Structure 1
Amino acid sequence: MFRQQARFYVNARAIIERPGAAGREVLLQQRQKPGEARLLEFPGGQLELFEGMTDALKREVREETGLTVTGFLDALNETRRSTRQAEVQCLTPSFVYQTLRGPVDSVGFFFRVTAEGELTRQGDHAGNHQWIALDDLRQRFDATPEHFDWLTQGALAQYLQQGRE
């Protein structure tokens, strides 16, 4: 009898912020993975085996947007502990998530960051990058949440509730 292996994903995702003419803006992109809906999402993705969370975040942002993460907007409070058996990184992200039901089983970390560089037209399974003013984002999310992927819907609910200005 064939038994499907369960997959568990660990992700790092970026809420890239910048000042704009209408106030704070965040970067969203359109997912462009074959066989998946082209919905809006935050940049980010899977950690590689034994890859640090912030290293994964920086790599994923670069691969998907062409931008380089230049700073973290929340204090990371990072500590590392090395023993003969392992090295462990502990830090404080902006917030974490866990899927309790859905298309994949995953846990992940969202970080509020700044970034610079040239946005690519097409990144790794991502495109149509757009800076959206926070007030516009709230209105779009309230009016048409279905334009955002399921994970981004959860993240936006948390992010907008935190109301950082």
Structure 2
Amino acid sequence: MKEDNILENGLLEIPAGKIREYENIFQGLRREVLEETGLTITEIEGEKDVVECKCNGYTVISFNPFYSSQNLSGVYSIMLQTFICKAKGNLLKESNESINIRWIKLTELKELLDSNENLFYPMHINAMRKYINFKLGGSNC
């Protein structure tokens, strides 16, 4: 639930958030998932393959997320990196950013997306469809 954006209130979404200034994206991912779900990430696909460069006063990391998305219209301009993770712990019932936190089966997710994608936060739809296709097979869009 997004308090500052009424248009997005009530939409279904996967855990997400903004990284802080100079925060490593993987640390930010762990922080956001913990804050929004109560789960501790134990593994992020691709994290072990990060390439780091320290040169001319910069520290740069390069990585491959599962999927990248950019919105070209809407409420605000953002890019989103989606990762596949493993986590442990107990789900919160709600947080200051989320309500009705729960797991759903991939088949149920596919049915919901196919029947009414307007239920979902638009920035997550393509990544969820790709993941469903990756796990269950079928159409990517």
Equivalent pairs, count: 133
- For 1:55 and 1:70, the matched residues in 2 are separated by 12
Q: What displacement does 1:116 show? A: 0.8
Q: What displacement does 1:122 show? A: 1.7
Question: Measured at CA, do residues 38 and 110 of structure 1 come closer, stay the same or move farther in structure 2, by a change above 3 Å?
Answer: same
| Structure 2 partner of 1:140 | 112
Q: Relative to total residues, which structure has the larger strand share, 1 or 2?
A: 1
- For 1:128 and 1:43, the matched residues in 2 are separated by 13
User: Are residue 119 (structure 1) and residue 88 (structure 2) matched?
Assistant: no
Among the aligned pairs, what percent are the same residue? 27
Q: Is the 8 A contact 1:33 1:126 kept in 2?
A: no
Unaligned runs of 5+ in 2: 137-141
Q: TM-score, normalised by structure 2?
A: 0.85
Q: Relative to total residues, which structure has the larger helix share, 1 or 2?
A: 2
Q: Would you identify which runs of 4 or more consecutive aligned residues in structure 1 move more than 4 Å? A: none
Q: Summarize the alignment of residues 10-159 of structure 1 with structure 2, pairs less than 5 Å apart.
A: 31-33=1-3, 35=6, 36-72=8-44, 74-76=45-47, 77-159=49-131
Question: Measured at CA, do residues 79 and 111 of structure 1 come closer, stay the same or move farther in structure 2, by a change above 3 Å?
Answer: same
- For 1:69 and 1:87, the matched residues in 2 are separated by 24
- For 1:124 and 1:52, the matched residues in 2 are separated by 23
RMSD over aligned Cα, in angstroms?
1.7
Higher RCO (C-alpha 8 Å, min separation 6):
1
